[in-house]
Amino acid sequence: MNILVSWSSGLDSTYMIYKALSEGHNVLASYTMLANNSEKSMVESQQVNRLSKLFERDFPKTYKGVIKENIFHMNQKNSLIFKQIPIWITSLLYTINSDIDEVYIGIVLYDDTNAFKKEIRKIWKSYQSIISYKLPKLRFPIHKMDKVQFTRILPKEYLQNVFYCEHPIIVDKTDKENIIYKPCHKCTVCRDYDYYPLVVGLEMNTEEVKKELIEIESQH
């Protein structure tokens, strides 16, 4: 089966690709870049390339690569409902072709959007009226799983290359192939990762971060 995955280099979508490849499917990725968040796009693109090389190494016959990079410009007053879902759907619509059997979106167990999967499917199906071939089936393959489960399955080398920060701090970008950054520890995603450490070896689990979190907790 040919699977198209909406990929961001984050934990959820990276796990979706790994899971589909492990099940023997042919997997293609659609990556969406937010052009006016330059720091995030810079690091995200780097991590997509790094993870892509790992997939190519481990699944040379079935990983088909990033078939399209879609670029969006978000204004400062982002009024999108659920924010990510409209971007993912639009990106997938730009990328799909008649060879795709299913498309995957990464909604996980505790996401707010999990309660609206039925509505999202209806929106997806409505686009059949503007597509000349049969629209691929939309699936949410990890909606009953949480992030901790992903870390127990993904190899450590993959985990060390997933990207999660909305506003990364660029430390050194002299080498375009090796941009050094650190998480902001302020955005919603960072706070989730900081308060729920996932795996030893990732930056979010450094002793420095743990000490900071203990101090924050003691103040409340």
The pLDDT value given to residue 124: 93
- Name the 3-class secondary structure at 173: coil
Q: What distance in Å separates the CA atoms of residue 202 and residue 134, rounded to the nearest whole number?
A: 42
The pLDDT value given to residue 142: 94
Alpha helix stretches (DSSP H) within 2-155: 11-22, 38-58, 84-95, 117-126, 147-153
Q: Which residue's entry shows tokens 């088909």? A: 64
The pLDDT value given to residue 21: 97
Q: What is the pLDDT along the chain (220 residues), one digit of tens a residue?
A: 999 998 989 999 999 999 999 999 999 998 876 666 678 878 888 999 999 999 999 999 999 998 766 555 555 555 555 567 777 788 788 788 889 999 999 999 888 888 999 999 999 999 999 888 999 999 999 999 988 889 889 999 999 999 888 888 899 988 878 899 888 888 877 877 765 554 434 544 445 544 544 454 454 4
DSSP tag of 28:
E
Element at 135 (helix H, strand E): none
Q: What distance in Å separates the CA atoms of residue 114 and residue 18, rounded to the nearest whole number?
A: 21
Element at 131 (helix H, strand E): none
Is-contact 55 63, C-beta < 8 A?
yes
Is-contact 202 159, C-beta < 8 A?
yes
- Domain 2-149 homologous superfamily, CATH: HUPs (3.40.50.620)
Is-contact 166 188, C-beta < 8 A?
yes
The pLDDT value given to residue 93: 84
Alpha helix stretches (DSSP H) within 107-187: 117-126, 147-153, 156-159
What residues contact 156, with CB distance under 8 A and at least 6 apart? 199, 201
Radius of gyration of the chain measured on its C-alpha atoms: 18
Q: What distance in Å separates the CA atoms of residue 167 and residue 38, rounded to the nearest whole number?
A: 9
**Six token digits for residue 31:** 């990556």
The pLDDT value given to residue 209: 44
The pLDDT value given to residue 217: 45
Q: What distance in Å separates the CA atoms of residue 134 and residue 106, rounded to the nearest whole number?
A: 22
pTM over 0.85: no
- The ranges assigned to domains in the chain are 2-149, 163-218
